[in-house]
């Protein structure tokens, strides 16, 4: 599908109707990172992620034909009115208005809840924007329009809210960004990875060490922009592109060691990009480094398949297959939780259903 296929005329929607819709959407963690974008939310390199199961956002959207000239949007997070969220939602609605023209004719009340604590530092934009986009697809149905490929449309809309959100509408391993290795890949929306995945990668756990709870020191939009005129940008984009092919091969053949090498390199490259940008950012905390060193020592000594990846923050995502859980979980509890600000981790996993 191309961009114009997502444009829908106002006439197909019955904008006299009111109603309420709800949706749930999980967060995801990138294995090959999206870092750098062009207008409008086009990634400078393709990415592949795992969609999580337990870290999700639940959103309810009430829509009423608008009363005044300007549209009103009210946002509640866990029963508390959150006026600070409104500009972001407004910006999102403005961006998607050419594809969802009914938005300008409604007042909205949005109630949202994250399964993870808001202060945990877990990126809520992926789960939040994808949950809201799913709500819009359901709202469209109520207004009389059913998209030919509703999930793809949800992904397209999500991308315009937050790039990584477009991957969250699918379970399991998901690709976003045009490349020659994934059939039907697109810069406009994500697609599930259809490669024959080795069973070892289908039951992966993701334990998130909450090293530092609190908001990020650099917003992702600022972070992505730092890749413009970055001295290593071209090399980074090329490497990420090539890593798509390498990762697919690893996933097919069940190469756990190769998986660890590639995924950890991707995570450290993301942070290296931030450290070498202008202005520079160091998003790891001393405890991030200390915990990563423990992971490397543990792996060397035990040969257990415990790997890590990082978001644009201080927290660590520990990745390991189901088979290794019995040995790895006690190690996390005994040796790694001490590095977490409140001694806490989130035990998540991926789902391929
Ligand atoms: C480091 O999707 O949060 O998590 O498109 O500006 O909303 P925006 O950025 P966002 O960037 C996420 C970057 C990342 C890597 C990734 O998820 O691929």
Burial annotation 28-49 (CB, 10 A radius, 16+ → b, else e) = bbbbbbbbbbeeebebbbbbbb
Distances (CA, A) of 179 to 95, 186, 224: 25, 8, 20
Residue nearest to atom 7 of ligand 1 (CA): 162
Residue nearest to atom 4 of ligand 1 (CA): 311
Q: What sign has the CA pseudo-torsion 234, 237, 243, 244?
A: negative
End-to-end CA distance of the chain: 25
- For the Cβ of 162 lying below 6 angstroms from any atom of ligand 1, the answer is yes
- For the Cβ of 33 lying below 6 angstroms from any atom of ligand 1, the answer is yes
139 vs 142: CA distance, rounded Å: 5
High-pLDDT (> 70) share of the chain, %: 98
**pLDDT of 230-266, one tens digit each?**
999 999 999 999 999 999 999 999 999 999 999 999 9
Which phi-psi region, left, alpha or beta, contains residue 78 (left: φ > 0; alpha: ψ -120 to 50)? left
What residues have CB less than 8 Å from 14, skipping those under 6 apart? 143, 144
**pLDDT of 48-69, one tens digit each?**
999 999 999 999 999 999 987 7
At residue 220 the predicted structure's pLDDT band, cuts being 50, 70 and 90, is confident
pLDDT higher than threshold 70 for residue 132: yes
Ligand 1 pocket test target in 49, 164, 247, 269 with most atoms within 8 Å of CB: 164
High-pLDDT (> 90) share of the chain, %: 92
308 vs 193: CA distance, rounded Å: 21
Q: Which helix (H) or strand (E) holds 160?
A: helix 150-161
pLDDT higher than threshold 90 for residue 76: yes
- CB-based contact 226:277 (threshold 8 Å): yes
**pLDDT of 179-209, one tens digit each?**
999 999 999 999 999 999 999 999 999 999 9
pLDDT higher than threshold 70 for residue 119: no
pLDDT of residue 120: 66
The tally of CA atoms less than 13 A away on the side-chain side of residue 158 is 34
Residue nearest to atom 5 of ligand 1 (CA): 163
Query: 156 C-alpha vs ligand 1 centroid, how far in Å?
Result: 15
Query: 30 C-alpha vs ligand 1 centroid, how far in Å?
Result: 9
- For the Cβ of 34 lying below 6 angstroms from any atom of ligand 1, the answer is yes
User: How many C-beta atoms surround the C-beta of residue 165 within 10 A?
Assistant: 33
Q: What is the mean pLDDT of the chain?
A: 95
């Amino acid at each position: 599908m191309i961009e114009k296929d997502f444009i829908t005329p106002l006439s197909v929607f019955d904008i006299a109707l009111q109603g309420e819709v709800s949706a749930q959407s999980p967060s995801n963690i990138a294995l090959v990172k999206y870092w750098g974008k062009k207008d409008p939310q086009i990634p400078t390199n393709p990415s592949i992620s795992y969609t999580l199961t337990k870290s999700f956002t639940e959103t309810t959207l009430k829509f009423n034909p608008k009363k005044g000239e300007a549209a009103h949007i009210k946002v509640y997070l866990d029963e508390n009115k959150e006026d600070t969220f409104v500009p972001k939602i407004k910006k999102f609605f403005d961006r998607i208005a050419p594809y969802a023209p009914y938005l300008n004719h409604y007042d909205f009340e949005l109630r949202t809840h994250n399964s993870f604590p808001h202060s945990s530092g877990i990126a809520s934009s992926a789960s939040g924007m994808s949950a809201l986009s799913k709500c819009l697809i359901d709202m469209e149905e109520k207004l009389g329009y059913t998209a030919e490929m509703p999930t793809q449309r949800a992904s397209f809309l999500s991308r315009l809210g937050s790039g990584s959100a477009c991957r969250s509408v699918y379970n399991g391993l998901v690709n976003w960004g045009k490349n020659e290795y994934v059939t039907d890949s697109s810069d406009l929306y994500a697609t599930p990875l259809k490669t024959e995945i080795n069973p070892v990668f289908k039951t992966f756990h993701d334990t998130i060490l909450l090293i530092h709870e609190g908001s990020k020191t650099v917003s992702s939009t600022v972070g992505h922009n730092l890749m413009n005129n970055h001295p290593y940008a071209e090399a980074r984009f090329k490497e990420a592109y090539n890593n798509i092919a390498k990762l697919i091969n690893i996933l097919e053949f069940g190469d756990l060691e190769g998986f660890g090498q590639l995924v950890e390199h991707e995570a450290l490259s993301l942070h290296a990009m931030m450290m070498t940008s202008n202005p520079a950012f160091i998003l790891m905390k001393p405890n991030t480094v200390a915990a990563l060193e423990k992971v490397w020592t543990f792996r060397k000594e035990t040969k257990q398949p415990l790997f890590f990846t990082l978001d644009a923050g201080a927290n660590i995502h520990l990745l390991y297959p189901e088979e290794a859980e019995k040995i790895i979980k006690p190690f996390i509890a005994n040796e790694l939780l001490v590095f977490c600000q409140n001694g806490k981790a989130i035990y998540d996993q991926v789902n391929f259903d």
